[in-house]
Amino acid sequence: MIEFIRNLSAFLVALGILIAVHEFGHFWVARRCGVYVERFSIGFGKALFSRVGKDGTEYTLALIPLGGYVKMLDERVAEVPPEKRHMAFNNKKIWQRSAIVAAGPMANFVFAVFAYWVVYLIGVPALRPVIGEVAPQSIAAKAGIIPGMELKSVSGLETSDWESANMALISQIGDKQVVITAQEPDSSIVVSRTLDLTDWSFDPESQRVLTTLGISPFTPPITLTVSQLVDNSAAIDAGFKLNDKIVTVDNKSVTQWQQFVDAVRTHPGKTLQVEVLRDDEPVMLSLTPRVKVEADGKEVGYVGLAPSIEPWPASYKVNLKFGPIEAAIKATEKTGQLVSLTFDMVTKLVTGDVAMKNLSGPISIAKGAGMTAEFGLVYFLGFLALISVNLGIVNLLPLPVLDGGHLMFFAIEAVTRRPVSERIQDIGYRVGSAILVALMAVALFNDFTRL
């Protein structure tokens, strides 16, 4: 229940900010173009708060926080007094109407730049994209990628950390090949490698992009020293204590953590004799792994303990923190990459290169908002920037109910020298609404299947 409230609260805060930004874009440009704005509303339905400003605009916070709108004076909607007709939206030039409509999505992009600017001013800890292991016969191995290499770019996009590397690689879905650059281990030499993606299969919902390519990021070595014990577990029953160091299992020497994991998993319900070092003294324990049934029906053992991991080397850590000017440049570059990636994903969604099951709705967004808010301000701001870019691009889609649809009608008007007929627009709105509702239904269905 607490998690639900946290996710919902973070979602409402995020949604409120992004809606306000989007609608303010329309509002600000409309005022600059001389259009009279009757109402600026965040949300729909019954007004929870309403105030009329000195400019005559009614500012409203409404009950249903799933959108917002800017109501402008428009002769197509209601009768306009003769003295105010010059302030009606429909009487403005095409470029002015286009600017007003486009200002919403543009405001979302500007906000993303601002959010990333703040992130880079505060600083965000990250890890250099150094490759730990490469699976034999994998796509990466065949391309000549080797352990210890550090990714520098993917298709020309700079990859200063693993987040940017993952995003750049995900954008390659549906492509036949990708060119990456990487710095060779213990060297300053940067080489170019081409990955053949002809037979690449990647499901964003169940797989990690790096794993499907055969790449494992570098991680510090896992020790054989116990650092965590689960209450009422098999490990507690066997007498394990914190800081015990595993030495042997059934008289077989254990030098790597995975050896112990394999022994436990392959002996569900069967007793293992485990030797540990405790305060430099050998202690023999009888460990009986409990039985766990996996999704495929296979029985495996588990004991409820975890090892310690050696600390990250300082050279592998980076703090993405910059001065005001450099932060602005980095923020603009990051937003540009997000815009490009999102456009690619939308295109590939239409072409079928990305499955519809990967479409996410408000439930997934709420969960993401809750998680990032819990991690801290910089992560929440990064999440807001990502969603803001997505909101801006979705609104630019050429569906008549969206800003992109209005821009499409204005483009036709500019070419034909006359407005698109109300009948055609009405048909377009009906079709656009049906498509949008269908997409929302798919997104919600996907959300529920992930719960």
* Alpha carbon of residue 146 to chain centroid: 28
Beta bridge pairs of residue 283: 276
Q: Where are the domains of the chain?
A: 101-123+324-451, 125-220+311-320, 222-310
State the pLDDT at residue 164: 86
In the residue annotation, 58 being an active-site residue is answered as no
CA distance linking residue 88 with residue 314, whole number of Å = 61
Q: Do domains 125-220+311-320 and 222-310 have the same CATH topology?
A: yes
Instruction: Name the token pair of 264.
Output: 């436990």
Instruction: Look up the CATH number of domain 222-310.
Output: 2.30.42.10
Length of the chain: 451
pLDDT in tens, 32-78: 999 999 998 988 888 888 898 888 888 988 887 778 889 999 888 78
State the pLDDT at residue 363: 46
State the pLDDT at residue 352: 62
What is the three-state SS of the chain? Answer: CHHHHHHHHHHHHHHHHHHHHHHHHHHHHHHHCCCCEEEEEEEEEEEEEEEECCCCCEEEEEEEEEEEEEEECCCCCCCCCHHHHHHCHHHCCHHHHHHHHHHHHHHHHHHHHHHHHHHHHHCEEEECCEEEEECCCCHHHHCCCCCCCEEEEECCEECCCHHHHHHHHHCCCCCCEEEEEEECCCCCCEEEEEEECCCCCCCCCCCCHHHHHCEEECCCCEEEEEEEECCCCHHHHHCCCCCCEEEEECCEECCCHHHHHHHHHCCCCCCEEEEEEECCEEEEEEECCEEEECCCCCEEEECCEEEEECCCCHHHEEEECCCHHHHHHHHHHHHHHHHHHHHHHHHHHHHCCCCHHHCCCHHHHHHHHHHHHHHCHHHHHHHHHHHHHHHHHHHCCCCCCCHHHHHHHHHHHHHHCCCCCHHHHHHHHHHHHHHHHHHHHHHHHHHHHHC
CA distance linking residue 414 with residue 365, whole number of Å = 38
State the pLDDT at residue 263: 93
User: HSE-up of 72 (CA within 13 Å, CB side)?
Assistant: 26
State the pLDDT at residue 193: 93
Among the listed residues 3, 23, 75, 326, the single catalytic one is 23
Beta bridge pairs of residue 181: 153, 192
pLDDT in tens, 191-243: 999 999 888 887 666 678 888 899 999 989 999 999 999 999 999 999 999 99
What is the three-state SS of 376-424? Answer: CHHHHHHHHHHHHHHHHHHHCCCCCCCHHHHHHHHHHHHHHCCCCCHHH
Instruction: Name the token pair of 178.
Output: 């990708």
| Cβ–Cβ < 8 Å for 65, 16 | yes
How open is the CA angle 392-393-394, to the nearest 5 degrees? 95
CA distance linking residue 271 with residue 178, whole number of Å = 50
CA distance linking residue 128 with residue 160, whole number of Å = 6
Ramachandran angles phi, psi of 114, nearest 5°: -60, -45
Tens place of pLDDT per residue across the chain (451 aa): 666 676 667 777 788 888 889 999 999 999 999 999 999 898 888 888 889 888 888 898 888 777 888 999 988 878 888 888 898 898 899 999 999 999 999 999 999 999 999 999 999 888 899 999 999 999 999 999 999 999 999 988 888 888 888 888 888 877 889 999 999 998 889 999 999 988 888 766 667 888 889 999 998 999 999 999 999 999 999 999 999 999 999 999 999 999 999 999 999 999 999 999 999 899 999 999 999 888 778 889 999 999 999 998 888 888 889 999 999 999 999 898 888 888 777 776 766 666 555 555 444 444 444 555 555 678 888 888 888 988 898 888 888 888 888 899 889 888 988 888 878 877 877 877 777 777 666 655 655 565 5
Instruction: Look up the CATH number of domain 125-220+311-320.
Output: 2.30.42.10
